[in-house]
Chain A
Amino acid sequence: MNILKTDNLTKYYGTEPLLVKALDGISLEIERGGFTAIVGTSGSGKSTLLHMLGGLDIPTSGSICVDGQELSGLGKNELAIFRRRKIGFIFQNYNLMPNLTVYDNIVLPVELDGRSVDKEYLETIAGTLGLEDKLNRKPNKLSGGQQQRAAIARALVAKPAIILADEPTGNLDSHTSQEVIGLLKATGERFHQTIVMITHNDEIAQSADRTIRIEDGRIVESRW
């Protein structure tokens, strides 16, 4: 069953003759529970695609269907709720709130939704990610790798069906990168989440179930 589906997705910026085609007719289907890597050179449109899949950006044309829901059919508020409940985003630059502790950062998406935090689950995640003793610190007191893991914990804690990760290892050394990817895979498998991850590191892409290569806004290769 496909959890993500795009049909002839395009995103253009500007007008002729300065038209920039960030995405130029992307049609793809991603299966539930899979671990997909999107690779491509910088400027190829990978991040735009990920933002589209997460409803953070609006396409010029074409449709995006996430978990049976057509994104264009949602209003602004509905889209925000949809993102909060269905999607976990891991940003390349972490996007942690500097004035909140790590714990408050992690539970933010759940508390925004007015739900109570599943304490047991949070402890499991923090344990797996090695963050238990760092929950009361501010993000700026953590190393890059630890901040990245806090961002991963935040994406996981609401138990979203889909995790979209934009170069989750972009600022990490190769060894820590492997660790983070291993963790993502393990938690994804454990909680049956669909993971879509952008990377420009072929080595990391190799550990995915499926790789999609994008060049100039088009899919040039898709293999399992």
Chain B
Amino acid sequence: MRFSKYILLCLNILLLVSGVCIALNEVNEDTVKFLLILCILCFGLVHLGSYFYFRKQFTDFSDEMCYYIEEILHGNSMKRLQNKETLTSKIVMELEKVENIYSFQLSESKKDKKELQEMISELTHQIKTPASNIQMYCEMFSDTDISSLDAKRFAEIIRQQLKKLEFLLDILVKSSRLETEMINLEMEDGKIVETLAIAVNSVIQKAEHKNIDISIMCSPSIQVSHDTKWTAEAIENILDNAIKYTPPNGKILIFVEGGEMYTEIKVKDTGKGIEAAHVNDIFKRFYREKSVSKNEGLGLGLYLARKIITLQGGYISVRSILGEGSSFSVCLPNRIPK
């Protein structure tokens, strides 16, 4: 490609020279000879002229585009060029679209960064309380004249605080692994019912403690390509949430249904429900309902659940009636998206 224009030029000149030679040797009459040479030279000139003309057009066009690219980069909208049936307009509009997408992504990542900073400050705040509690009770331990009863009590308190710390760190580790996308989802065809069993087993104690009945309605033959471990984690977080908001003696129903494109895992509880105004907030990082803000938790469970499901190409939706209960739908695609 690089040499094609030189080859074209050489061929052109060769053609002209040979034409002139033939005219000089073969034709005898002087006027005809003169006219013929003139014709050939004119032809050559027109050829060269058109070559340089179109080349100039191309360089002008690219110069123009470069200028517009600069303008777009500086955020200047090319109003007068939009919506025309010209090449320039087409390219300028495409470029503006690309610029829009990138500046949007930039602002999104800035927002993310801000959120992360807030997370760190929230986290330090949450970790500080148990840590300072532990420190305080440790100091009381070093006091020589405490009764064995007190010692037992202090040890119990320290154990509780440590548990709280462990819980926070566990969530933190999981979320940081998801954030940095260090996890490799191992997508395998697996039975949904087995994944559900793992999830239910890890929350069954909490449920029994509140005398909440968990039942699963799932055909054992339903298979979906998913990551068993992380999907179980997501379902566990949803169940955990359901148990937290369902009063004692309530019910949780897990219902699985295969669709044309997605398999839906529905987790229905008889809890207090979600206020319509907050339905979109519950999946936000660090969102916690006011009435439970005393309980342990960071507001990361549902956020993590959604992240895990989205990474697998699925989505979570929620329907809720205040006072009657909520229903979370986890939809996993029946086939892996490319």
Contact = CB atoms under 8 A, between A and B. Distances in A.
Interface of A: 1, 32-33, 67-69, 74, 77-79, 81-82, 85-86, 113-115, 123-124, 127-128, 130, 145, 159, 161, 175-176, 178-179, 182-183, 185-186, 191-192, 203, 206-207, 209, 223-224
Given A186-B315, A192-B101, A192-B105, A179 B83 contact: no
B90 interface: yes
B66 to A, nearest CB: 21
Nearest to B329: A178
B104 interface: yes
Contacts of B331: 178-179, 182
Can you list the 3 inter-chain pairs with the closest CB atoms, starting with the nearest? A78-B83, A81-B83, A182-B315
B317 A81 contact: no
Nearest to B105: A192
- A32, A123, A176, A179 — most chain B CB neighbours (10 Å): A179
Given A192-B101, A192-B104, A192-B105, A115 B90 contact: yes
B338 A182 contact: no
Nearest to B97: A161
* Residue from B77, B107, B261, B329 whose CB has the most chain A CB atoms within 10 Å: B261
A186 B315 CA distance: 8
A182 B97 contact: no
A77 B89 CA distance: 13
Nearest to B85: A81
Contacts of A161: 97, 100
B285 to A, nearest CB: 16
A185 B309 CA distance: 14
A68 B77 contact: yes
Given A82-B83, A124-B338, A182 B90 contact: no
Given A82-B83, A176-B260, A32 B319 contact: no
Interface in B4-21: none
Q: State the main secondary structure of chain B at its contact with A.
A: mixed
A192 to B, nearest CB: 5
B319 to A, nearest CB: 6
Contacts of A183: 261
Contacts, number: 84
B257 to A, nearest CB: 8
Interface in B70-90: 77, 79, 82-85, 89-90
B83 A79 contact: yes
B259 A176 contact: yes
Nearest to A185: B315
18 contacts: A1-B104, A33-B104, A33-B108, A77-B83, A78-B84, A82-B83, A85-B83, A85-B90, A85-B93, A127-B338, A161-B97, A179-B261, A179-B262, A179-B331, A182-B314, A182-B317, A192-B105, A206-B318
Interface string B186-230: 000000000000000000000000000000000000000000000
Contacts of B279: 206
Size category, B interface: 35 or more
B293 interface: no
Interface string B226-259: 0000000000000000000000000000000101
Given A85-B83, A178-B264, A182-B317, 11 more contacts: A32-B100, A69-B83, A79-B83, A113-B90, A130-B335, A145-B260, A159-B97, A179-B260, A182-B314, A182-B315, A185-B315
Contacts of B313: 186
B309 to A, nearest CB: 11
A31 B259 CA distance: 33
B280 interface: yes
B263 to A, nearest CB: 11
Contacts of A33: 104, 108
A119 B56 CA distance: 33
A209 B337 contact: no
B277 interface: yes
B88 to A, nearest CB: 13
Contacts of A209: 280
Nearest to B259: A175
A206 B277 CA distance: 10
Nearest to B319: A203
